[in-house]
Structure 1
């Protein structure tokens, strides 16, 4: 969907006249589901780029007000529910602006403190028990459901030699994850998309977590993504220790993170540099960890 400043201005003016005179600025984003515009100094407009993003908008409207008071950092606050208009066919939302900046792998101000903050957020998500029937998270189901797509992505990457992926090592990590015992308890609440682009930091600390469109219940290992997509090795251990992650969950979490990177890299390498860069970072982080069934993996 082609969404420009003029369309956003018309949508806002029609639905929320009190904000009609505020300036509109499109924000750069590595996201693939929504267009994001800043509205004045204090607001943000988020609009699905395709029909598949509509469920994310509606999920946030329903669940963010219930999750927000139970979490240790700021999360998006929906201030206005936009509806289809002006030729735009889907719901959209206006949120309060959250300060902070997106962290970049390899350039963290205080990775140990950030690791502790991330662990506190993940632990709080696991413990929430809001009223109502929770949705199933977009990710967090049985790891085996990702097997075919992960192996297919590895096959594609074999034909892209300039990406220089150690296919045998990646396959060893993936098969190790598949062989790990499954969760030994009920599903827990997950953010389910803890990519760097969905985090905001300030002064080295976690300031906010955004984009809850994938949130719901599932395997707790799904929210271990930051261990490999953002944190360096020392902070990774702080994150793991703070959450008390056992070996089986760590292996599943590493496999999930690897799978996501393998699938993302060939898909985004030409059109989405930030997503491709993070996928390469994950592959380096995962494939240099010193354990797959006790063996050196690279």
Structure 2
């Protein structure tokens, strides 16, 4: 099984404190402890209300820079809380990449909530993504694995299917996966200009509090492209009931906005959901939460 890429630098609370002492000394005496260690970034809790977000490998360093550049603009559009950097850290001899101080948003990852409990805020997520999905300006990042033509993901998906990564989820799913993928590839393409795309709005990047959706996290994959990529969350996050509400609100908002018809929207979104969930299952031995999201989505996409 593939595993999470190893960290290329030893990220510790002592390193974070040293960086703060050097660049933001007024924050350096706050308590620091590791809160999350993801594939691309590590997050350290800083006092009660802040966090420090640092890339853990060179491939992720540009992602932090994208967040620093574009999140202030995107946060103004999003009706949910967004961890916009409040301080910017620059590269030094001790740490060779940019890093950020961001707000700590209290709540629970939606991935920890029962799937059925997510239905009440399905329309709120649709509205938040609709607010983000506006034409991206020149100079917006272009992510090679998010928001582009689905054909670019065929090789990666076929490799996962051939390796049998979906078999433990649904032993007879391979033929259905191929059929879904072909349907997604032949769907009408996105008819508009590239739009802002979050890139990774799965339930691990959504925060809930008291049964409500309150925040959208981790814009490291932010890109200009096809907004159907974000709509993959319909399968990653919801069951059939929640997905129906999410789709209904998404379609209604698109119609109200006067946008050009997009008849291939949900077929392409299903293709993106298959790409993402197959990757999540392939890495399941390394991250139980991501694996569970992938298993759920595959069962929603490819019911028996």
- TM-score normalised to structure 2 length: 0.87
Conservation of the 8 A alpha-carbon contact between 2:110 and 2:205? no
Q: 1:10-29 maps to which residues of 2 (within 5 A)?
A: 10-29=18-37
Structure 1 position 104, deviation (Å): 2.0
Conservation of the 8 A alpha-carbon contact between 1:157 and 1:163? no
Equivalent residue in structure 2 for 1:264, among 272, 280, 284:
280
Task: Name the SS for the 1:183 alignment partner.
Answer: coil
Distance 2:179 2:190 in 1: 21
Distance 1:61 1:89 in 2: 16
Q: 1:247-262 maps to which residues of 2 (within 5 A)?
A: 247-262=263-278
**Higher mean C-alpha deviation, range 149-158 or range 45-54:** 149-158
Give the match for residue 276 of structure 1. 291
**Higher mean C-alpha deviation, range 109-118 or range 146-155:** 109-118
Task: Name the SS for the 1:22 alignment partner.
Answer: coil
Conservation of the 8 A alpha-carbon contact between 1:45 and 1:95? yes
Q: 1:94-109 maps to which residues of 2 (within 5 A)?
A: 94-104=101-111, 107-108=114-115
- TM-score normalised to structure 1 length: 0.89
Task: Name the SS for the 2:164 alignment partner.
Answer: helix
Q: Deviations over 1:117-146 (max 9, x none)?
A: 1000111011366x6643334511001111
Give the match for residue 87 of structure 1. 94
Give the match for residue 295 of structure 1. none
Q: Deviations over 1:106-126 (max 9, x none)?
A: 604743331111000111011
Task: Name the SS for the 1:36 alignment partner.
Answer: strand
Instruction: Note the residue ranges of structure 1 that are not aligned, 5 or more in a row.
Output: 289-297
**Higher mean C-alpha deviation, range 117-126 or range 172-181:** 172-181
Distance 2:114 2:167 in 1: 27
Structure 1 position 77, deviation (Å): 2.0
Structure 1 position 19, deviation (Å): 1.0
Distance 1:74 1:243 in 2: 20
Q: Deviations over 1:197-251 (max 9, x none)?
A: 2111112221011111211221121011221111111110111111117552101
Structure 1 position 105, deviation (Å): 6.7
Conservation of the 8 A alpha-carbon contact between 1:102 and 1:198? yes
Structure 1 residues 240, 197: closer, same or farther in 2, change over 3 A? Answer: same
Q: 1:1-298 maps to which residues of 2 (within 5 A)?
A: 1-29=9-37, 31-85=38-92, 87-104=94-111, 107-108=114-115, 110-127=117-134, 133-138=139-144, 139-157=146-164, 162-165=168-171, 166-244=173-251, 247-266=263-282, 268-288=283-303, 298=304
Structure 1 residues 33, 240: closer, same or farther in 2, change over 3 A? Answer: same
Distance 1:263 1:210 in 2: 20
Distance 2:91 2:139 in 1: 27
Distance 2:41 2:36 in 1: 11
Structure 1 position 189, deviation (Å): 1.4
Distance 1:106 1:247 in 2: 32
Q: Which runs of 4+ in 1 moved over 3 A?
A: 160-165
